[in-house]
Chain A
Amino acid sequence: EAGVAQSPRYKIIEKRQSVAFWCNPISGHATLYWYQQILGQGPKLLIQFQNNGVVDDSQLPKDRFSAERLKGVDSTLKIQPAKLEDSAVYLCASSLEGTANQPQHFGDGTRLSIL
């Protein structure tokens, strides 16, 4: 079974620029998550989708971050404009359902560096 695919693997931009990340979940997985992992910390949930609807975006900085999952499969996460504190690894995960008995499976993330 193919895992969660993310691209790009690395991205370097200057502050105030915009950037987008792409995620393709495991086939058949209805639930998709975006996490932010700052160096030295554990991942933190930014947003959760169930099919193409948002379940939880309480930790998403909505003034600069946006995410969509238009057809209930692939998803994109955008930052505009980027700040220095956005330097982090952005991880995508998926699960069959959003229930607590279904494990989430993670991609290897996009490492974002802001200059």
Chain B
Amino acid sequence: DAKTTQPPSMDCAEGRAANLPCNHSTISGNEYVYWYRQIHSQGPQYIIHGLKNNETNEMASLIITEDRKSSTLILPHATLRDTAVYYCIVRFLIYNQGGKLIFGQGTELSVKP
């Protein structure tokens, strides 16, 4: 079962920041938080991941609370092409199980003109 809770849908105006929340209150100390997105008819696309510290790359920023029980993915200037389903995933650290991504229902983000 997925260990994360996300709102089923969100809207965002084009050019504004999109802030997608995720609750992972049962996360263990060595489990990573991963974000993927899936645009219609495509495979999931890796966005970013983090353990404890906030992370930033060319696509997005990941803010993880100090207690690690929740996080927020930030798309700084959303475009229409960012419309997709966004998945927040907690990933196990154990080597033989480290590969498993357990996807939940995700958040359907609609970026509107």
**Which of A13-21, A70-78, A101-109 lies at the binding interface?**
A101-109
Q: By DSSP majority rule, is chain B's interface helix, strand, loop, or mixed?
A: loop
**22 A-B residue pairings within 8 Å (CB atoms):** A41-B103, A41-B105, A42-B103, A42-B104, A43-B101, A43-B103, A45-B100, A45-B101, A48-B99, A55-B96, A55-B99, A56-B100, A91-B44, A93-B44, A100-B31, A100-B91, A100-B93, A101-B51, A103-B34, A105-B46, A106-B43, A106-B46
The chain A residues found within 8 Å of chain B, CB to CB, are 4, 31, 33, 41-45, 48, 55-56, 91, 93, 95, 98-101, 103-109
**Contact between A98 and B41 (Cβ–Cβ < 8 Å)?**
no
The chain B residues found within 8 Å of chain A, CB to CB, are 2, 30-32, 34, 41-46, 49, 51, 87, 91-93, 95-106
